[in-house]
Structure formats: structure tokens, C-alpha cells
Amino acid sequence: MVNRSKMGLKHELSEMRKTMEELTSELHETNLAIRESLKLTSDSIKEMSEAFSKSLGDTLKVMQDMKVEVDVRDSVLKSLGIDGLIQDIFKKRT
């Protein structure tokens, strides 16, 4: 009877070891999947951030260029003495 119970215990321990190995393998696979997912998320955030920064820089450049154009136009109109006249014409069209 003692022999059978040792055999039963060995069998249970063997099954527990196999189960633990399977769980360890599954956890390892899960960790790899999580790591890959986090890397993809990180890469996506980095790409979006770079695209946003570029777009923002481009937009600010366009706005700055427009301000310079308006400033130049206003200076030319003032130097010609027709700044009020031209602005009135633009207002009537709008």
C-alpha cells in the first residue's frame, strides 16, 4: 500500500511539474505578446508625435509667412498713402 501511495504521489508530482512547465511556457508567450504590443504602441505614438510636430511646424511657418506678407502689404500701402482706400475696397467685397 505504501508503494502504491508513493507511485500515486510520484505520478501527481509529475503531472504537477508538467502543468507548471505548460503554465511557464504560456506565461512566456504572453509576456512576448505583451512586449510586442507595447513596442507597437510606443512606435505608433512616436510616429504620431513626429507627424504632429512636423505638421505644427509647417503650419506655424505658413502663418509666419502670411503675417510677413500682410506686414509687407500694409507697409507698401502706407508708403503709397492708399492704405485706407484699399482696405475699404476689401471690406466692401466681403
> Rounded CA gap, 30 and 39, in Å?
14
> Rounded CA gap, 60 and 6, in Å?
79
> What pLDDT score was predicted for residue 2?
55
pLDDT digits 0-9 by tens, 58-84? 999 999 999 998 888 888 888 887 777
pLDDT digits 0-9 by tens, 25-62? 999 999 999 999 999 999 999 999 999 999 999 999 99
3-state secondary structure of 80: helix
> Rounded CA gap, 55 and 64, in Å?
14
CB atoms within 10 A of CB 39: 10
Location of C-alpha cell 503650419: 59
| pTM exceeds 0.85 | no
